[in-house]
Amino acid sequence: MDNSTAAWISCGSAIGGGLVAGLLSGAYQHWRDWQERPRLALDFEATDGPNLVRINGKDGQVDRYVRVRIRNVGKHVAKESIVYLTSIEEVHDSGTTPTAFQEAMQLSWPLNEYGHRNLPNSGDLYVDLVKIHSRAPGWHFGFKQLHANHDGLKSHSGTYRFHLVATAENAESKTLVVNVKYEQAVNTLRAYQAI
């Protein structure tokens, strides 16, 4: 084999080795990014505490909040996280019935704050699903406003099934279903995660 052939073989081996190393490095980088991506968790615990908040007013009035927890259990920040209420159903012994609410509306962060939030990989954030006030009976939902065709939702006495979805710019979405029972009196409020 002459020197020029050997040089071509050596050059080809170097290029091929470089291509293989580059491909493996790119594949590893992609795999590592996938493993370290943000991962959303959406849940509800039916116990008093952060998910079921009770506030006793000085005048004997009581406010109750049903809140859903959103967490990032991944390694990177979940950018522009948001939780939507996508539908509400009435729950009966015979099954469920759809309500007039069949759209996606953002749920508020505590203190009626709206908008996206960056969600770090530690700590818990909550969104308000329902607010119940002893001074003003009726369902007070955790989104900005009811449309005219939703007015009848506030006076329902019984159980609603809420369907939620959490999204973030760089994470897979997560869904959750929560049942809330309320019979137009603050002491009748019960909530639990639907199966």
Based on the domain organization, do 24 and 61 belong to the same domain? no
HEC sequence for 145-187: CCCHHHHHHHHCCEEEEEEEEEEECCEEEEEEEEEEEECCCHH
pTM summary value: 0.80
Whole-angstrom distance, CA of residue 161 vs CA of residue 194: 8
Which among 72, 74, 185, 83 has a CA at the least distance from the CA of 133?
Answer: 185
The answer to whether 164 touches 141, Cβ cutoff 8 Å, is no
Q: What would the pLDDT profile of 97-115 be if each residue is shown by its tens digit? A: 999 888 899 999 988 899 9
The rounded mean pLDDT for the chain is 85
HEC sequence for 53-81: EEEECCCCCEEEEEEEEEEECCCCCEEEE
Based on the domain organization, do 31 and 45 belong to the same domain? no
Q: What would the pLDDT profile of 23-79 be if each residue is shown by its tens digit? A: 555 654 554 555 567 999 999 987 777 788 888 887 888 999 999 999 999 999 999
Task: Mean pLDDT check: name the lowest of 5-9, 12-16, 60-64, 71-75.
Answer: 5-9
Domain of residue 50, residue span: 37-193
User: Which pLDDT score is estimated for 19?
Assistant: 64
Based on the domain organization, do 4 and 69 belong to the same domain? no
Based on the domain organization, do 74 and 28 belong to the same domain? no
Based on the domain organization, do 10 and 94 belong to the same domain? no
Q: How many domains does the chain have?
A: 2
Based on the domain organization, do 52 and 13 belong to the same domain? no
Based on the domain organization, do 159 and 178 belong to the same domain? yes
CA-to-CA dists, residue 8 to 3, 5, 16, 21, angstroms: 9, 5, 12, 20
Based on the domain organization, do 28 and 42 belong to the same domain? no
Based on the domain organization, do 76 and 165 belong to the same domain? yes
124-130 average pLDDT score? 94
The answer to whether 55 touches 66, Cβ cutoff 8 Å, is no
Which among 153, 135, 134 has a CA at the least distance from the CA of 143?
Answer: 153
